[in-house]
Chain A
Amino acid sequence: MSGKTIRVATDVGGTFTDLVCFETDHDTGESKITTAKSDTTPPNFEQGVLNVLEKARVDPKSVDFLAHGTTVVINALTERKGVKVGLITTEGFRDSLEIARGNRPDFFNLHYVKPEPFVPRYLRRELPGRFSYQGEEMKPLDLSSLPAILDDFRADGVEAIAVCFLHSYANPSHEQATVAEIKRLWPEISTVASHQITREWREYERTNTTVMSAYVQPTAERYLSRLNDGLSAKGFDGNLFIMQSNCGVDSLDSVKKIPITMVESGPASGFWGAAELGKLIGETNVLALDIGGTTAKCSLIEDGKVRIMTDYWIERDRTSAGYPIMVPVVDLVEIGNGGGSIAWVDDFGKLHVGPKSAGAMPGPAAYGRGGTNATTTDANLWLGRINRDYFCGGSVVADMAATEKALSDVGGRLGVSPEDVARGIIRIANNNMVNALKLVSLNRGHDPRDFTLVAFGGGGAMHAVALGQELGVKKVVIPAGASVFSAWGMMMSDLRRDYFVTKLADLNAGSAQIVESLFAETEALAASQFSEEGVDKAKVKFLRYGKFRYQNQEHTTEVLIEGAITDESLAAIETAFHETYEREYTYRLDAPVELVGIHLVASAEVGKLKMQERPLGTTPASAALKGERQVDYALEGIHAAQIYDGEKLEPGMKFAGPAVIEDPGTTIVIHPGNRVEIDGFGNIHIHLKA
């Protein structure tokens, strides 16, 4: 026994591959944290992972738990770097993928361009066979034309096949038979059927999901295999887990089968981290905010639970219908506002911030790499919120002349000073982010006063207090190590799978049996899948959610169901639905309630990190004080702020704003009237003005 456990999280991003290593001493419970960064190495991304392990001097042999997050899937989709896909679907429906939903979000624009399907028409083929919506076979499956279809696919260089039939969510047997026959006729082709990914209705969404899964599957599978081989070659024999979009991790083998579930795994780990942090500090209602260079993302956590949905779209905005991917993804709102967002003035003299970003190259003007646009970061620097002498943790000399020039250019167009431009940028950026935070809270019937704002990512802490004050949250918490918070979240993740199954049922006597057995069947399926991967059945925990609506409605409201479903417990479930519904929508109806489907969460702990709380000390905060400077708080005026060294803050320290905490990864802006406390885990609690 080494007396310690080594957990590593690696994250492959567009530019860098990051590593965070927690080495936990079994005797003291204390963890030593190491971080490292190396270049991402497309197309052989696994090489970057091996490089960063070496750079951090982490011996793969010694690693017990390795969690891995990757943007390989989302990048393959957005950069159109997947494989050629052939689609097999129900007779009469080969054009579903192209017809899509027919919507024109940019509705005044007569030159709207509809998103192009990922499979051209000649590679979309049909087979006879039909189920009813209740899953009864109306027309048997006829596979006689399949060999000819596969011959065509071979001749056309198809590398993956997607199979999606109408009503397969209710009865997958035609899809199963088709996949089996494809495997017999063409064993080496990569194949995926819709029921393997989702059991929910809406044929366009399900077909597109299946197609996109097929599109990325060979690439992702190859990547995951090479990663596994590369680690094994270096002696790694611990557990390798892959971060998923549903805030859980999953085994490599399972992810290889359906890699599309990784699509939004990047933000998921941070939001899971926020949920876990909330539990740790006794604040289970959390508004989580992640501000990066290009975007800000937020999500709401209620009672310690993240909200998982299957209404996820890529490339969807006010000008494009985008593409649906019906897999479990943490419910989040993302906007184009980050540290690198560019401020600009339109033809009519109005100031805007984002969604265009200066990116890493050239970056904000202050980077001195030729950037001429004023960004949010430039505004923060100009107002003294970011220390111009400690820019990027002291690693970059802030080019204040370039910042001044960029702000003056914008100011010239508006007829105001650089100070006013900088304040305007901050206020507009904050307003954009507040509106995003409202979308996940107020707009869904949640009162921000019941929530704690947890902010992380490079820019989260800079704006968090202003946003929290605007929303009226209880308090703001900046986690210890806010810049590596996502990696921490990965270490805290459970092995987790979300099962969504569409099933219509009225809530009357006799239906309890139907619903109970659907849950029981799904739980049995989950348990057997977990045990195939060596997870003890006894360790698997389930959460049951019902998706309910008033009869005739379409959209559903999820209600957590405790215990077995019996005819007697239906009344309580119905009451819970009415309450949840009324909170969200301000009214309730005296109408019959129906079940539209279930959402089962199956999870098991797989060696997650245990945090050690340190006792609160008595050292005064002045020990961490490193100076004072003038900071412009926009509407709250200019104040002399105390500057604290984040690395010297200790549990139990207390002080008040106006202040700024600086550590190498992030800058925390404390407004006048705020009170600050450091807790036993090193998290920074900021109490807002009453």
Chain B
Amino acid sequence: MTTASHDPITLEIIQNSLQATADEMFAAMRKTAMSSIIYEVLDMGTGITDAKGQLASSGAGIPGFIGVLDKSVKVLLEKFSKPGQIEPGDVFITNDPYYGGVTHLNDLVVCMPVFAGDRLIAWTANIAHNSDVGGKSPGSLSADATEIFQEGLRLPAIKMISRGEAIPGIFDIITVNSRMPDFLEGDLWAAIASVRIGAKRLAELAEKYTVETFEAAMVSFMDHGEKIALAELAKLPHGTFELSEEQDDGRIFNVKVTISDTEFVIDLRDNPDQDAGPSNAGHDDTLVSMQVIFKALTDPTSPANEGSFRPLKVLTREGSCFHAKEPAAVGFYYEIGIRGYDLVWRCLAPHMPEKLPAGHFSSIAGTFIGGIHPDTGRQYTIIEPQIGGWGASAGRDGNSAIFSGVHGETYNCPAEISEARNGLFVDRMELNTDPGGEGKWTGGQGIRLDYRIRRDDSFLTLGYTRSRILPWSLDGGSEGSANYALVMRKDGSSERYAFASGIRVDKDDVIRVITGAGGGLGNPKERDPAKVAEDVRNGLISAERAQEVYGYRGE
């Protein structure tokens, strides 16, 4: 079975194996990681590229991580372009968006070249959010950072393992810069194990089917991805669509989308200059966010690869918040990413009602709480995105309490585990039934989550958008509700936050996380009375408000 043959069944089998390998890498990372942000939240992804760094297959928990790894590999190929600079057994690392790291410094990208003999045939890669990579604030994210230097250790696409041997000093530099060196080291080795397992499988595949067939399978897989994308593109309404939207901070974001048979062009050039703070995205990350919405529109079901994104063109202006220039801070890049993603969604929704529901809570709502665990005396840091309400679509109410559009196979942390691990109390985790998202079809509910702090001198950092400008509705439905957090002090006072870092919290202070309902769709007066009665019975809306909004008259 070792003759070179490019029959379609063999190619299909190799393609299935690429997917199985990316999944296996993902499973290995998940099971061995030390930070709950990786093993529970699954803020991580794995991928396989061809020798040129084109995405062949990915195993990811998060759509926002699907298109990251190929960009890192391409930067490595450019940087290590001389013969002998990339060898079997090497492992590379980057985390800097100005050097192929794409996102922010917390995300360590680990890449390994795969060889058949001395021929480079593919890459395996892994990205994961690490708990602390140094910088001015614990958890490495600070809302008041003004330069990337304040956000942690920068790893500008470097080799860390050479021919299987760790390069002396590199691990020391990485761990000494972290406030949580044990976690970082454990997570880093988990990432290395994951790319090594993947590389071993790919080498076996190439040996079994020959390098030529293996490479042909990757090419045909990508061509197939492109074919699907083009076929779906043909079915979308063609033309140019534009939208301007005000943001929580008063800035106006603009987008222009032009769809034709062959191209899907997103023009983000007309946008504000880069932020003085950390709300900036690098060009590559903006591209990734646009890939996510493009894939949702063209082919949400089959796995993504380089070909899936070929018809997509993204235009940005260097120096703008969607294309930050070094040394802009980028810690909260993901809120800019999701704003861009939601901007395109909102721009197109009125034109493609069967493809796009009303707006969702649309924020990562990254929440960082840290301090000393009162029972173990060890440092803990909670790093978690939040779940919230999704928008209504024609014929169906939105989902309650799920992760945002750029998260995916992500899991929230059980209260029982959080209390043991983090040494605080979770007093409640329930649906947020505040008004918002009413309509013929309603938006889903967000959540209300209370953390009671057990030890003085702990901290809260958060970065939520859609805190003032609410999730958008469609066809006369009501807007959704806001994302924010309250710090409810022991003395009875209370503060409202959406974007802040290093807020001191003490014993018996309660941090209440609130996420919004998704937008409603259609006139509320047209909602099926039986559904309204069910909502009232389930306590999702009061009888008085139901009367006011829906004309409810009791059962």
Contact = CB atoms under 8 A, between A and B. Distances in A.
B484 to A, nearest CB: 19
A272 interface: no
B400 A114 contact: yes
Contacts of A15: none
B415 A553 contact: no
Contacts of A423: 9
Contacts of B399: 112-114
Contacts of A120: 538
B62 A107 contact: yes
B412 A110 contact: no
A107 B63 contact: yes
Contacts of B431: 95, 98-99, 121
B416 A109 contact: no
A110 B17 contact: no
A57 interface: no
A552 B131 CA distance: 12
Given A93-B430, A94-B430, A202-B414, A554 B186 contact: no
Given A108-B296, A121-B540, A443 B27 contact: yes
B450 A92 contact: yes
Interface stretch (A213-221, A430-438, A525-533, A666-674): A430-438
A553 B39 contact: yes
Given A351-B12, A585-B193, A203 B415 contact: yes
Contact of A96 (B24, B30, B357, B429): B429
Contact of B416 (A112, A133, A635): A133
Contact of B401 (A98, A132, A414): A98
| Dominant secondary structure at the A interface | loop
Interface in B9-39: 9, 12-13, 16-17, 20, 24, 27-28, 30-36, 39
Contact of B20 (A102, A112, A347, A435): A435
B331 to A, nearest CB: 23
B530 interface: no
A348 B231 CA distance: 9
Nearest to B360: A110
Nearest to B418: A133
Nearest to A424: B9
Contact of B30 (A133, A555, A587): A555
Contact of B13 (A112, A427, A443, A555): A427
Interface string A416-449: 0000000110011001100100110001000000
Interface string A184-214: 0000000000000000011111000000000
A95 B446 CA distance: 11
Nearest to A132: B419
Contacts of A554: 33, 36, 39-40, 417
A102 B387 contact: yes
A49 B39 CA distance: 46
A121 B408 contact: no
Contacts of A585: 28, 31-32, 190, 193
A94 B415 CA distance: 13
Contacts of A100: 401
A69 to B, nearest CB: 31
B186 A99 contact: no
A635 B1 contact: yes
A397 B31 CA distance: 51
Interface in B378-418: 387, 393, 396, 399-403, 405, 407-412, 414-417
Nearest to A121: B538
Counting chain B CB atoms within 10 Å of each CB, which of A167, A205, A423, A586 scores highest? A586
Given A107-B63, A110-B405, A423-B9, A589 B300 contact: no
Interface string B195-236: 011000000000000000000000000001001100100000
A350 interface: yes
Contacts of A350: 8, 12, 224
Given A99-B401, A591-B186, A428 B9 contact: yes
A102 B416 contact: no
Nearest to B539: A121
A504 interface: yes
B537 interface: yes
Contacts of A435: 16-17, 20
Nearest to B291: A108
Contacts of B13: 427-428, 431
Interface footprint category on A:
35 or more
B304 to A, nearest CB: 8
B86 interface: no
Interface string A61-104: 00000000000000000000000000000011111101111111
A665 interface: no
Contacts of B183: 552
A236 interface: no
B171 interface: no
A307 to B, nearest CB: 15
Contacts of B62: 107
Contacts of A92: 427-430, 450
A513 to B, nearest CB: 20
A134 B423 CA distance: 11
Interface string B347-364: 000000001110000000
Contacts of B416: 133, 166-167, 169, 201-203
A101 B412 CA distance: 5
B295 interface: yes
A169 B417 CA distance: 12
A204 B196 CA distance: 34
A137 interface: no
A550 B356 CA distance: 44
Contact of A552 (B8, B182, B414, B419): B182
Contacts of B292: 108
B108 to A, nearest CB: 16
B421 to A, nearest CB: 8
A99 B417 contact: no
Given A95-B429, A99-B387, A589-B189, A432 B16 contact: yes
B419 A586 contact: no
A424 B35 CA distance: 44
B9 A104 contact: no
Counting chain B CB atoms within 10 Å of each CB, which of A104, A114, A204 scores highest? A104
A108 B193 contact: no
A109 B429 contact: no
A111 interface: yes
B355 A587 contact: no
A555 B192 contact: no
Nearest to B223: A348
A25 to B, nearest CB: 49
A121 B444 CA distance: 14
Contacts of A113: 396, 399
B463 to A, nearest CB: 19
A109 B31 contact: no
Contact of A108 (B39, B186, B300, B447): B300
Nearest to A170: B416
A186 B288 CA distance: 58
Interface of B: 1, 8-9, 12-13, 16-17, 20, 24, 27-28, 30-36, 39-40, 62-63, 182-183, 185-186, 189-190, 192-193, 196-197, 224, 227-228, 231, 292, 295-296, 299-301, 304, 345, 355-357, 375, 387, 393, 396, 399-403, 405, 407-412, 414-417, 419-420, 427-431, 447, 450, 537-540
10 contacts: A92-B450, A93-B429, A95-B447, A121-B539, A201-B414, A203-B414, A431-B13, A435-B16, A589-B185, A589-B189
3 residue pairs, one from A and one from B, having the closest CB atoms:
A107-B408, A92-B428, A102-B387
Given A169-B416, A552-B182, 12 more contacts: A92-B428, A96-B415, A102-B411, A103-B411, A114-B402, A121-B538, A122-B537, A166-B416, A428-B9, A586-B193, A586-B196, A589-B186
Interface of A: 91-96, 98-114, 120-122, 132-134, 166-167, 169, 201-205, 347-348, 350-351, 414, 423-424, 427-428, 431-432, 435, 438-439, 443, 504, 550-555, 585-587, 589, 591, 635
